[in-house]
Structure 1
Amino acid sequence: MPKILNFALFVLSLLARLSFALTWFCFLIPICLVVQALKGTVTTNILQNDNFLVVSAHLHLQQTTIEHFPQYLYAGLMSVGAVLAVIGALYGLKALIKILMNIRQRQYFSDENRRLLWTFIVAQFYALAADPFIAGANQLARTYLGRVNTGYFDGTWEDIYADLVALAIIGTIYILFCSATKIKREAELTI
């Protein structure tokens, strides 16, 4: 294997490991949301947070609108969505790390890589499952408070379609990989 490719795989593996370690901290986000809901500060946080942009028609909100914002529903939806998204990201990163290690060891068409590709599909299902929760929570902020989330977990309903397309692409790659592995096995048997 050329040195530049080996070095690139090493760097990618290192970045994936770092991302995997840092992604665990994202589990703090749902905890913070639940604490904010229990304190009753979810609405204040949304209104004062720079990650939520104001929709032009909602420059001034009535106090009753602010008081009737469903804080617990928002925190619950966002927490469930965040947990599912983080689990999906962890599955995907773990599979990526192992695939990169296998490529560095020149194990290309192995059963382990097939299982790891299946893990990518599972990770994408988690991302797809997170989308309605995150989009629903963000829809609440937009409808009640006229704020659009541009920070972490800023998903919208369109993300469902994007994740479905990504799932179809990953599924196609998985099917092609399984076919290539089968052809390789048959070629080894005939020799």
Structure 2
Amino acid sequence: MDTTKTIREQILDHAITLMMLRGYNGFSYRDLSELVGVKTSSIHYYFPSKDDLVLEAVQAYTQEVQGAVQSIDASLSSQAKLARFAKMFGRTLGDGDQICLCGMLAADIETLPEPVRLAVQAFFRANETWLAKVFAEGAHDGTVAMGVKPEQAARTFFAALQGAGLTSRLFRTRSRLDEVGASFKTSK
């Protein structure tokens, strides 16, 4: 048992990892109790329902990812920002056996409670909004070639990363994810 984090933090961390590996329906409180070393009743104390746990997990994951996105140096070129974003996204693959939490949950969208569905949508929108700004900067200064509006380029890029995460996991290779970043060439 990890003693540097509270029981609650450990439950949340393990829930995020399990969902990145197995999805919303692929884990139980029993799985968490074995990983954390507590009774399932202890997990219910912190998270009365699985829906409560998953919503908080999505919110914590979103906050972590957005923190990483905001830490990308604003003075970098648009192309460099996109490369950093793709590299950051690639770190979610771990050893190639997991994918983005919200990407995984998006695949389970029909079984998600409404608050979780909305939180997953907010995660996608936040990333697409940041990417659209980067594409707009790149179009303005001529460093990113694109034949579509920045918002469409952002959705395409983010969707490509999400899809590449899935296929990288399927084929157990990061090369598919690396190809996405390389496919957005500079125009100069």
Question: TM-score, with normalisation over the residues of structure 2?
Answer: 0.32
Q: Which has the higher contact order (CA 8 A, sep 6+)?
A: 1
Q: What is the TM-score with the length of structure 1 in the denominator?
A: 0.32
Tell me which protein shows more helix as a share of its residues.
1
Which has more radius of gyration? Answer: 1
